[in-house]
Amino acid sequence: MVNGSVVNRSVVNRVAQDRSGRRPVALTIAGTDSGGGAGVVADLKTFEAHGVWGACAVVAVTAQNTIGVHDVGLLAPSLVRAQIAAVAGDIGFDAAKCGMLGSAELVECVAEALVDAGPVPLVVDPVLISKHGDRLLSEEALVVMRARLLPLAAVVTPNLPEAEALTGIEVDDRGAMVEAARRIAAMGPRVVFVKGGHLAGPDSPDLVWTDGEGTWLESPRIPGRHTHGTGCVVSAAICAELALGMDPVDACVAAKHFIEHAITAGVDLGSGVGPVDPGWQRLSRS
């Protein structure tokens, strides 16, 4: 269950940061979604919903809608690195997240740019396959991600297929989620947040693993087909809370609360899988 005191702590941090005279900044490093439901667009919407200023380094441009990914263009690593350096050298950022990275060369480039920018909490969403089944990361890039990017991460947020790809084991029940989390933690991240949405059954449990122990975040499965962008919004919500000063484990709990509402408020757009709504708080106030 979601701990209400953890969620409230986010509000306290937000007020404290505002009084300091500087708005927290979160950086997303990911691809675009021309349909507006995932990637950089969803991340920036999520940052805004948390009261955090969003900056971005675009890694790829996709032609995408609710039906699928129709085309992908990767940017030059030098341009990606320049974007990260431009933000770091002037505005600065308090936390960062990585989403779709596309190639081994880009994963390596992003890891190097983040090291150069200096230590800030990093969320790695190991995006491998789109909601529609389109492959977004090569096997070679996955190897580089394990070696270069995961050791930099405060939090890594795999779903079950991504946990399988990272560990090489089948992940189809709670026991396997625990083993996968243990193996991913050995790759260097402080916290592993294994998302259980792909499990069969009426529940959608997530596992937060840190310091050799796991905590289950329990929730019933939310009905509805509009779930595009779920992983992006979860990782962006964690990133926003880290930018606000929240502990990584508490940030995972708060993000679980946030995404449950975003899924419930899913937007009926297009003829395929519609997006979740990071702006659900706006709707609840209207």
Is the Cβ–Cβ distance between 252 and 193 less than 8 Å? yes
Locate tokens 């805004």: which residue?
48
Mark residue 188 as left, alpha or beta (left: phi above 0; alpha: psi -120 to 50; beta: remaining): left
DSSP-assigned states of every residue in 18-39 = HHTT---EEEEEEE--TTSSSH
Q: Is 54 a catalytic residue?
A: no
Q: Is 239 a catalytic residue?
A: no
Which strands sit side by side in the sheet containing 95-98, from one edge to the other?
69-74, 53-64, 25-31, 95-98, 122-124, 155-156, 191-194, 206-210, 213-217
Q: Is 131 a catalytic residue?
A: no
| Catalytic site residue from 229, 245, 266, 274 | 229
| Catalytic site residue from 54, 167, 227, 266 | 227
Q: Is 66 a catalytic residue?
A: no
| Catalytic site residue from 45, 97, 131, 195 | 195
Is the Cβ–Cβ distance between 37 and 228 less than 8 Å? yes
Is the Cβ–Cβ distance between 277 and 262 less than 8 Å? yes
Q: Is 46 a catalytic residue?
A: no
Kind of pairing between the strands at 25-31 and 95-98: parallel
| Catalytic site residue from 36, 54, 231, 245 | 231
Q: Is 92 a catalytic residue?
A: no
| Catalytic site residue from 56, 98, 109, 232 | 232
3-class DSSP state of 197:
coil
Strand segments, DSSP code E, in 91-250 are 95-98, 122-124, 155-156, 191-194, 206-210, 213-217
Which residues form the catalytic set?
A: 195, 227, 229-232
